[in-house]
Amino acid sequence: METEAINRAAWRAQIVEAAIEPDLPIIDSHHHIWRDAPVEPWEAYPAAAMIADKVNSAHNVVATVYVDSHSAYRVDGPEHLRVVGETEYAGSVGDDCDARGGRAVGGCAAVVTHANLLMGAAVGEVLDAHIAASSRFRGIRHMTAIDPDLPPVYGATEYGVMMRPEFREGFAELARRNLSFDAWMFHPQLPELLDLARAFPEANIVLDHTGGPIGIGRFAGKRDEAFAAWKKDMSAIAACPNVSVKVGGLNMTYTAMDAIENPRPNTSEEVALLQRDHFLTTIDLFGPDRCMVESNFPVDMRSISYDVLWNSVKRMTADLTRSDREHIFAGTARRVYRLP
């Protein structure tokens, strides 16, 4: 695994670009920290690596949002409360970033971890423990991404989870506490999120990774058909004002917009050409004040370097107004995750 990581790092290093608009403030609304690689083929991404990306980037990443990494759980105590260890850990990383000062400030400014909403109303105890564990805690992600054409490595093992009554009971506890819900699914599952958003119009729902558009399996070679289906369901969800979207996460293999198997990474211009339709359509549907950028590191890191990723995002949004870009790059994330 170490050799794979070294090889992949060398592969990424083939493309080096100067930063476009280096002073533009960015809030990276979605990244993980993995002390160890969770499963092949992903690489470890410890806190030091995240801090190094933030500090050493040629881009002005002013803050980041830590998202559910299924790591650093407590090793003892009640089983259902062990997940709170992740909030304690991510919160401590954020405290360390602020204590370091300089460009490290703002790392893990907000923390989104996990609670099992299938516990029903009993999940309230877990949510309260998260709240007590760190002032940076903002909400949870309960991963539901699953598809018959994809390997079971995306966090879910069963279908229709969001429609189950016990999930809805747990979700009510989340909404009651004004906590956010990060929704991670693939585009054929979007109608389930639509139903959830309509059932809880007061809830703060954040749709991850541009709604998870699949471009392989049964959608391979059918880009226009897949895009139309994705857009139809995204349009319906956009009518729910309580849903915002993280635009990004498109450098994963299942999207068919990655470069993982290529001899070299894509340049930011090539990435922008591949991803702009999904990126800009999402912004058009939801509006800039409900869209926020994300790195999705270290997952997207297999296909692209940190600096090239931000260049690609800046290229895709270059024709938008200054005000719109201020929302997309920082304002929306600041509002949704209640950052200073």
Kindly state the tokens that stand for 241.
Answer: 């004002």
Predicted confidence (pLDDT) per residue in 104-154, tens digit: 999 999 999 999 999 999 999 999 999 999 999 999 999 999 999 999 888
Predicted confidence (pLDDT) per residue in 42-64, tens digit: 899 999 999 999 999 999 999 99
Task: Report how far residue 287's alpha carbon sits from residue 306's, in angstroms, rounded to the nearest whole number.
Answer: 25
Task: Report how far residue 254's alpha carbon sits from residue 306's, in angstroms, rounded to the nearest whole number.
Answer: 20
Show me where the domains of the chain are located: 2-336
Q: 163: closest CA among 196, 140, 130, 124?
A: 196
Residue pLDDT tens, the chain, 340 long: 456 667 999 999 999 999 999 999 999 999 999 988 777 778 999 999 999 999 999 999 999 999 999 999 999 999 999 999 999 999 999 999 999 999 999 999 999 999 999 999 999 999 999 999 999 999 999 999 999 999 988 889 999 999 999 999 999 999 999 999 999 999 999 999 999 999 999 999 999 999 999 999 999 999 999 999 999 999 999 999 999 999 999 999 999 999 999 999 999 999 999 999 999 999 999 999 999 999 999 999 999 999 999 999 999 999 999 999 999 999 999 999 999 8
pTM: 0.97
Exposure string over 96-117, b if 16+ CB within 10 A, otherwise e: ebeeeeebbbbbbbbbbbbbbb
**Which residue is it, tokens 């990424």?**
12
CATH 3.40.367.20 describes domain 2-336: no
